[in-house]
Amino acid sequence: MNINYVFIVGSPRSGTTYLQTELYNRVQSVTGQETNLFDIYLRPFFCQWNADLDPEISGRGVLGLPAYISEYSRNQIIKNTVNSIVTCFIDALVEQGVQIPSEVIFIEKTPSHALEINSIRKVFPNARFIHIYRDPVSTVLSIRHASKSWGKHWAPSSIIGAYRMWKSHVISARLSLSQVPNESWTEVNYDNLLLSPENEATRIMKALNLPPRLNSDGLRAIPIINNRRLSFHVDSSQFNRLTYKARKSALRRLNPERILVKLLYQIDILRGAPVAGNGFV
């Protein structure tokens, strides 16, 4: 089985799950819940690897795993491990009766992998990436809303903290992707995706050479493993132009929180930070 990876990245609360479900229902692919592989599980590993290579930190030259294996061997071990994990997931789907082709496209959606694109490319140099961009006001307010309930363990509760989270993900993704071949990544605007999901999904599929799903009859939800819903499908029909205009109108109302976010955004624009989005002022 040959597994090809497509990583959806972006700030938390920027529409990564919505994009994931739209693509899953159109692309001949497999997908599941966020893996957190490179941002939570492997980030400490890479940090320790770099520290073991630094003689000023160790005081005794190379220590730890770098003293035993090369960087290439390290990357191969990680690659084989990730492939084994995904294969176990696919095997579980097959047991549920899901038909899986021999050439598998696995859509991995972990927002904070936006911070780990360089590490991902060391392990999977042929990986493809989709960066979803959502305007800072909507994203920051959504992050703060999450911080008051289900997202209290990861979402900053302050405007400044939420804006910094949005900013760090956008800048890191864009700077890292600027080093990736054009045919291996694309960016999608969340508002454009809401207004025209079919057109945006088609554009993404063409840009990244993703095959269309052969039979999508009745396929509207991401598969279930271990009796747990891995993700959900958002019916794009609920997002009509009236809903979109009402939401954008709400963003224009005078509100201290929105004003602060816009001020922070404009300061970053003046500083030359790569945070600008089409249609947002």
In tens, the pLDDT along 120-177 reads: 999 999 999 999 999 999 999 999 999 999 999 999 999 999 999 999 999 999 999 9
**Domain limits of the chain?**
2-135+181-240
What is the model's pLDDT at position 231?
41
Helix (H) or strand (E) holding 123: helix 117-123
Which pLDDT band holds residue 90 (cuts at 50, 70, 90)? very high
Q: Quote the radius of gyration of the chain (alpha carbons, Å).
A: 20
- Tokens, residue 267: 């300061």
- Assigned CATH topology for domain 2-135+181-240: Rossmann fold (3.40.50)
Helix (H) or strand (E) holding 129: strand 128-133
Q: How many CB atoms lie within 10 A of CB 28?
A: 17
What is the model's pLDDT at position 98?
83
> Quick check: 92 pLDDT over 80?
yes
3-state secondary structure of 69: coil
CA 251 from centroid of its chain's CA atoms: 24
pTM: 0.88
